[in-house]
């Protein structure tokens, strides 16, 4: 038996048909979408790797649990069930649900911004996190290790903080001006790269020294725990849940988009270790945005599904298959010479498009070009994570310089098979082999905030 990539640890008992389009159809569909894959209809996509967020398949246990979800406003049974699961996993005292990760960011991040000119520091802020830091009147600074940007370098924890730089930043900006340190695990924007336990612990020690709160951005905290188990000495024989609890012990707050490692289609979490005052502030802030603190934009059914999904995502066999399937796709691309972030991350394969299309300058969005090319080639939808996503500096209005121009192929959880990954690999390899034909793009409309979602483009003909 081939154990290099373990087979799906599930049988499929409900299917959703998908449809291939012709190349001619796709040319028209993409043009009508303003050459922005976000504007495509998902039914016009054959294999949809736009995101792993809210796109996973729920289990029979989750669907079953939804039947007992009660009406949720104040103090529903479903809330208390979810609360006990979250407290059990994190070891924290306080919990409130929110509708998704950015809801948690909107409610929580302003609480620590107590004056003008403050900063959040993260390994790398996710795009909505960065947006909410800025909306809260603070600035976002990234502080990841240099190795992260060398895609060929084999490093087990490319999501790690640069500890020397972190301490320098705190001294330079003044500890009283640091609102908090956000540990993004895994580090989404850098390729789903994990952060080691030793690094989390060291960040916490630095934070304690300066009396700065630490926050886990835990969208993929279970995948991060699996990598720790696989790669970090001393964790080989630990249970995933114990690794997760240790991760949480190095933070004061846990924010989560449950649409990833919560294995649900909608949901989010704010959990606070022991700061009652902070919890009370969030309880007040959550009401106008998300809803009463015992439902936070979710209904009882959502909370039931999440209570089950959180535990399923800590199952080691589930996690092994999850990571194997992503690695299977990445290994195929790497073997064909396609430049990818290596080692392959937890939720996605990241193709480096600066190297794939060196003739396209960053301002012409090389990763958008490759993304559009694989849609035209095979109806596969991916997403640009580069200059377009990074946006403009709020002070100078210049494009923020971007080290890597990535195309992310995000794999939904429990949805596609290894055979689908073959189709994806063939398409990307084809585009790679014809990379000289790739063209850059220019704006026909540039959206002022989170511009990658809604801007439109045209190809630059030369």
Ligand X SMILES: *Cc1c(COP(=O)(O)O)cnc(C)c1O
The residues annotated with a catalytic role in the active site are: 73, 126-127, 217, 219, 260, 452
Interacting span for ligand X (CB under 6 A) from 7-15, 160-168, 232-240, 255-263: 255-263
* CB-nearer residue toward ligand X: 184 or 369: 184
* CB-nearer residue toward ligand X: 354 or 408: 408
Q: Note the helical H segments in 77-196.
A: 77-90, 101-108, 127-135, 163-173
Should residue 452 be labelled a site residue for ligand X when binding is judged by CB under 6 A?
Answer: no
Interacting span for ligand X (CB under 6 A) from 39-47, 124-132, 163-171, 324-332: 124-132
Should residue 101 be labelled a site residue for ligand X when binding is judged by CB under 6 A?
Answer: yes
411 in Cβ contact with 325 (< 8 Å):
yes
Q: How far is CA 325 from the centre of its chain?
A: 17
* CB-nearer residue toward ligand X: 62 or 129: 129
Should residue 219 be labelled a site residue for ligand X when binding is judged by CB under 6 A?
Answer: yes
Interacting span for ligand X (CB under 6 A) from 126-134, 307-315, 322-330, 393-401: 126-134
Q: What is the DSSP secondary-structure string of 265-298?
A: SS-EEEEESS-HHHHHHHHHHHHHHT-STTTTT-
Instruction: Pick one of 36, 184, 371, 372: the residue that binds ligand X (CB under 6 A).
Output: 184
String of contacts with ligand X for each residue 37-66, x by CB under 6 A: ----------------x-------------
Q: How many CB atoms lie within 10 A of CB 361?
A: 13
Distance CA(275)–CA(265), nearest Å, equals 30
* CB-nearer residue toward ligand X: 102 or 435: 102
Q: How far is the CB of 217 from ligand X (least distance, A)?
A: 5
Interacting span for ligand X (CB under 6 A) from 40-48, 96-104, 143-151, 273-281: 96-104
Question: In degrees to the nearest 10, what's the CA dihedral of 293, 298, 300, 303?
Answer: -90
Instruction: Pick one of 106, 111, 188, 371: the residue that binds ligand X (CB under 6 A).
Output: 188
Should residue 362 be labelled a site residue for ligand X when binding is judged by CB under 6 A?
Answer: no
Instruction: Pick one of 142, 217, 232, 252: the residue that binds ligand X (CB under 6 A).
Output: 217
Should residue 227 be labelled a site residue for ligand X when binding is judged by CB under 6 A?
Answer: no
Distance CA(119)–CA(130), nearest Å, equals 11
- Long-range CB pairs of 32-37, under 8 A, 24+ apart, other chains included: 34/444, 34/445, 34/455, 34/456, 34/457, 35/368, 35/372, 35/441, 35/456, 35/457, 35/458, 35/459, 36/452, 36/454, 36/455, 36/456, 36/457, 37/371, 37/372, 37/375, 37/381, 37/382, 37/383
Should residue 265 be labelled a site residue for ligand X when binding is judged by CB under 6 A?
Answer: no
Should residue 350 be labelled a site residue for ligand X when binding is judged by CB under 6 A?
Answer: no
Instruction: Pick one of 257, 294, 364, 387: the residue that binds ligand X (CB under 6 A).
Output: 257
* Kind plus residue range of the DSSP H or E element containing 377: helix 366-378
Place of tokens 């107590």: 114
Number of residues that bind ligand X (CB under 6 A): 15
Should residue 224 be labelled a site residue for ligand X when binding is judged by CB under 6 A?
Answer: no
Q: How far is the CB of 12 from ligand X (least distance, A)?
A: 26
Q: How far is the CB of 295 from ligand X (least distance, A)?
A: 17
Q: How many CB atoms lie within 10 A of CB 294?
A: 22
Instruction: Pick one of 30, 47, 50, 102: the residue that binds ligand X (CB under 6 A).
Output: 102
Q: Which residues contact 452 (CB under 8 A, 6 or more apart)?
A: 36, 38, 127, 383, 384, 388, 389, 391
Classify burial at 275, counting beta carbons within 10 Å of its beta carbon; exposed 0-12, middle 13-18, buried 19 or more.
middle
Interacting span for ligand X (CB under 6 A) from 86-94, 98-106, 318-326, 403-411: 98-106
Distance CA(32)–CA(53), nearest Å, equals 25
Instruction: Pick one of 119, 126, 227, 441: the residue that binds ligand X (CB under 6 A).
Output: 126
Using CB under 6 A, list all residues that contact ligand X.
53, 100-102, 126, 128-129, 184, 188, 217, 219, 257, 259-260, 268
């Amino acid at each position: 038996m081939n154990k290099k990539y373990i087979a799906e640890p599930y049988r499929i008992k409900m299917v959703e048909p998908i449809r291939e389009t012709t190349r001619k159809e796709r040319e028209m569909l993409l043009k009508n979408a303003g050459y922005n894959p976000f504007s495509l209809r998902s039914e016009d996509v054959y294999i949809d790797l736009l995101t792993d967020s809210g796109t996973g398949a729920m289990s029979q246990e989750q669907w079953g649990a939804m039947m007992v979800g009660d009406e949720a406003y104040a103090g529903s049974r479903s809330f208390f069930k979810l609360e006990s699961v979250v407290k059990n996993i994190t070891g924290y005292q306080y919990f409130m649900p929110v509708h998704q990760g950015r809801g948690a960011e909107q409610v929580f991040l302003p609480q620590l911004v107590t004056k003008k000119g403050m900063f959040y520091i993260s390994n790398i802020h996710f795009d909505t996190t960065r947006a909410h830091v800025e909306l809260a009147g603070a600035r976002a600074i990234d502080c990841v290790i240099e190795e992260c940007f060398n895609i060929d370098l084999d490093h087990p924890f490319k999501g790690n903080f640069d500890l020397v730089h972190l301490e320098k930043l705190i001294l330079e900006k003044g500890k009283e001006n640091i609102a908090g340190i956000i540990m993004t695990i895994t580090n989404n924007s850098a390729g789903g790269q994990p952060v080691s336990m030793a690094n989390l612990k060291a960040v916490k020690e630095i934070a304690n020294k300066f009396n700065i709160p630490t926050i886990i951005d835990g969208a993929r905290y279970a995948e991060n725990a699996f990598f720790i188990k696989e790669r970090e000495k001393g964790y080989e024989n630990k249970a995933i849940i114990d690794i997760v609890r240790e991760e949480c012990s190095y933070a004061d707050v846990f924010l989560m988009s449950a649409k990833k490692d919560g294995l649900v289609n909608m949901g989010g979490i704010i959990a606070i270790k022991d700061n009652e005052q902070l919890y009370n502030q969030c309880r007040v802030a959550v009401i106008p945005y998300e809803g009463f603190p015992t439902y936070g934009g979710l209904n009882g059914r959502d909370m039931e599904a999440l209570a089950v999904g959180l535990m399923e995502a800590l199952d080691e066999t589930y996690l092994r298959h999850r990571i194997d399937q992503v690695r299977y796709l990445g290994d195929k691309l790497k073997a064909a010479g396609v430049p990818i972030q290596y080692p392959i991350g937890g939720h996605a394969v990241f193709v480096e498009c600066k190297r794939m299309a060196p003739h396209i300058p960053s301002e012409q969005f090389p990763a958008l070009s490759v993304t559009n090319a694989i849609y035209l080639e095979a109806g596969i939808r991916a997403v640009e994570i580069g200059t377009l996503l990074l946006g403009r500096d709020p002070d100078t209005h210049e494009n923020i310089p971007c080290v890597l121009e990535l195309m992310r192929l995000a794999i939904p959880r429990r949805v596609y098979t290894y055979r689908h990954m073959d189709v994806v690999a063939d398409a990307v390899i084809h585009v790679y082999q014809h990379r000289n034909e790739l063209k850059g793009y220019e704006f026909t409309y540039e959206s002022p905030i989170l511009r990658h979602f809604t801007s439109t483009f045209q190809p630059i003909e030369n």
